[in-house]
Amino acid sequence: MTNKEKQTEEKIAEAAREVFIEKGMHGARMQEIADKAGINKSLLHYYFRSKEKLFDYIFSKIIGRIGNMFTEVMTEGVTIENKLKMFVSTYIDTLLKNPFLPNFIFNEITRNPEGILKRFKSANINPKELFIPLEKQLRAEGYKVDTRDFVLNLISMVVFPIAAKPIANSLLFDGDSKAYKNYIITRKESIVTFVMGALEAYK
């Protein structure tokens, strides 16, 4: 692929990401994506034959970043607290930039659970490979918490307020999106503080 083709592909991907954020995967239209990218629809189909393939491309790139973060977080010598800080910060930043992601994953879990698992594995996210070293370190640091509870509670604390933005923003922040975003950013620290405090009960 030439540099020009790579640039066009990236331009399409960024345009599509913006449309997916605004309309969701099912509400997005290829013509709208082509218009936003400044190309004709035929060229869009040349690079990505369907909306689903385009979404998969973007999804893989986003989830791939999370997968890389998981690999980094699992590095030996990093304490549980620092692992939490890295995980929470990267995950929240990724979801804020790609707010369509949580609801897409929730829908796919219901509609096509095998498909979503394949997407995660292709992005180097294998829960079994992550659980073993995490559980080993929790035990080494003296925490007797169920690792499944630890992971599910942590992910819920990070994901739910972002997935529930339409309700949370309206009920808690009177529709002030800036205040809502600032709140989500401050949760990076409060989640870590809360989880580390909760872990003490399992020593």
Question: pLDDT tens digits for 140-158?
Answer: 999 999 999 999 999 999 9
**What percent of the chain lies above the pLDDT cut of 90?**
46
Pick the more confident residue, 106 or 163.
Answer: 163
Rounded CA-CA distance 18/12 in Å is 10
The better pLDDT of the pair 130, 173 is held by: 173
Q: What is the pLDDT of residue 88?
A: 93
What pLDDT shows up at residue 133? 86
Q: What's the whole-number mean pLDDT along residues 41-70?
A: 83
Highest mean pLDDT among 5-19, 124-138, 186-200: 186-200
* Domain annotation for the chain: domains and CATH numbers: 1-49 (1.10.10.60), 56-202 (1.10.357)
Q: What is the pLDDT of residues 71-106, one digit of tens each?
A: 777 776 789 999 999 889 988 998 888 887 887 778
Distance CA 175, CA 167 (A): 9
H-type alpha helices, 112-146:
113-122, 127-140
**In this structure, what token pair is assigned to residue 50?**
């369907």
Angle between helices 147-163 and 100-111 (to 10 degrees): 120
- Residue 77 phi/psi, 5-degree rounding, is 95, -10
Banded model confidence at residue 116, pLDDT cuts 50, 70, 90: confident
Condensed to tens digits (0 to 9), the pLDDT of residues 178-193 reads: 999 999 999 999 999 9
User: What is the C-alpha separation between 27 and 66, in angstroms, rounded?
Assistant: 25
Q: 40-44, 55-59, 134-138: which has the minimum mean pLDDT?
A: 55-59
* Model confidence at 120: pLDDT above 90: no
Question: What is d(CA 125, CA 160) in angstroms, rounded to the nearest whole number?
Answer: 20
Q: 102: Cβ–Cβ under 8 A, 6 or more apart, which residues?
A: 95, 159, 162, 163
Q: What are the backbone dihedrals phi and psi of residue 133, each rounded to the nearest 5 degrees, phi first?
A: -70, -30
% of the chain exceeding 70 in pLDDT: 98
Helix (H) or strand (E) holding 203: none
Residue 121, pLDDT > 80, answer no
CA distance 158 to 148: 16
To the nearest 10°, report the CA torsion of 169, 170, 172, 176: 60
How close are the terminal C-alpha atoms of the chain, in Å?
55
Is 33 in contact with 44 (CB distance < 8 Å)?
Answer: yes
- 22/40 Cα distance (integer angstroms): 21
Distance CA 52, CA 58 (A): 10
Q: What is the mean pLDDT of residues 122-147?
A: 84
